[in-house]
Amino acid sequence: MRAVAQRVLRARVDVEGETVGEMQEGLLALVGVAREDGPTDARQLAAKLVHLRIFEDAKGRMNLSLLETGGCLGVVSQFTLLGDVRKGRRPAFAEAAPPEQAEPLVEAVIAEARSLGAPVITGRFQARMEVELLNEGPVTILLDTQRRF
């Protein structure tokens, strides 16, 4: 699984003019699922997201996790993270998991993060979403459970 995790002051997800998720300070993760991903990847990604030490401590050092700050986790599915543009200019999505595989794994990330103690907001799977965020820092981290980067 891949994620682009951004430290945010606030974020909101709208679908067809309706706000389906809204949060204040925390971490917004855009999550993509690859064909070879499974439940272990979902558990690993959730744990990494909630324990990632990218929030500042009293000395201004990135030393605290989402759980330690009491922030919220936003999880938004985004299959385009698996887009391959090594050949040509149009992304190929052959590595992206089909929806029937991807949706349960995104839901598993959400469930695991909640079981670890993080409040979680989400988007809507396979919907055309408008994601608005205020990146703080800016701090943006790339994650991949297969360690391709």
Query: Which positions are annotated as active-site residues?
Result: 78-80
CB atoms < 10 A from the CB of 86, how many?
Answer: 6
Q: Distance (Å, rounded) from C-alpha 1 to C-alpha 37?
A: 6
Structure tokens at 70: 């009491």
DSSP strands (E only) in 33-128: 55-56, 62-64, 72-77, 120-122
Q: Distance (Å, rounded) from C-alpha 33 to C-alpha 17?
A: 26
Q: Distance (Å, rounded) from C-alpha 141 to C-alpha 135?
A: 12
